[in-house]
Amino acid sequence: MSDVTGLRERKKQRTHRAISEAAIALFLERGFTRVSVAEVAAAAEVSKRTLFAYFPTKEDLVVHRFADHETEAARVVRARPAGTTPLTALREHFLDGLRRRDPVTGLNDDPGIRALFRMILDTPALVARVERFNTAAQHALAQALRETADTPALTARLAAAQLVAVHWALALDNVERLARGEAADERYATAVSDAEHGFALLENGLGRLPTATPASG
């Protein structure tokens, strides 16, 4: 990973960090939309053109931190112990994430993380970008299901869509509550039972949900 390669490589890493940190600091201070990339470039002491050599879009200045999560679900499914279903592996992984207060679960109230989450939620362009990550995660997960569970193509696709949708809904719910000021430790117990509820829904289906009847015909 972080091989101590040549000077060139080290400088690139430093520039990457410098740009990213300048960007986050400015965005948190004044809001994503109210800071131009030119300002970020100036703050990081590089040219605008160089900035775009490191980050393809303005949004990526923020969300590149989540890039790893794009393949996380697929990796969890691939690495699951023999005899474990993909669903179980993903549930346990999510529950473990809650325990570890992994930001990907939304249950992290570190001031920096919380501010970042709030900013993302408040910025449609960033939400859209995160949702594109989800789409990518969905594809990777579908492939993992096909390859490690012999799931037929369509089933894999449908299952992946459901899994990613539920995962995201659960995380978003946590993020929103913490954004309103709740503490992570305070929220933890509910977050766990919510997650268990979500995964139970995935496992057992919506069929056995008690269903009221609409007012009239």
Partner DNA sequence: TGCATATGTATACCCGGTGCAAAAATCTCC
Partner DNA sequence: GGAGATTTTTGCACCGGGTATACATATGCA
Q: Which residues bind DNA (CB under 7 A)?
A: 5-9, 11-12, 15, 35-38, 45-50, 52-54, 56-59
Nearer to a second copy by C-beta: 128 or 183? 128
For a second copy, the closer CB: 18 or 188 = 188
Nearest-approach distance from CB 128 to DNA, in angstroms: 12
- Please, what is the minimum distance in Å from the beta carbon of residue 112 to DNA? 22
Provide the b/e sequence for 191-209 (b: ≥16 CB within 10 Å). Answer: beebbeebbeebeeeeeee
Name which of DNA, a second copy, none residue 148 binds, using a CB cut-off of 5 to 8 Å depending on partner kind: a second copy
Residues of this chain that bind a second copy (CB under 8 A): 78, 80-83, 85-87, 128, 131-132, 135, 148-151, 154-155, 157-159, 161-166, 168-170, 173, 194, 197-198, 201-207, 209-217
List the single partner that 132 binds among a second copy, DNA, none, CB under 5 to 8 Å by kind. a second copy
Considering the complex, state which of residue 19 and residue 145 has its C-beta at the smaller distance from a second copy: 145
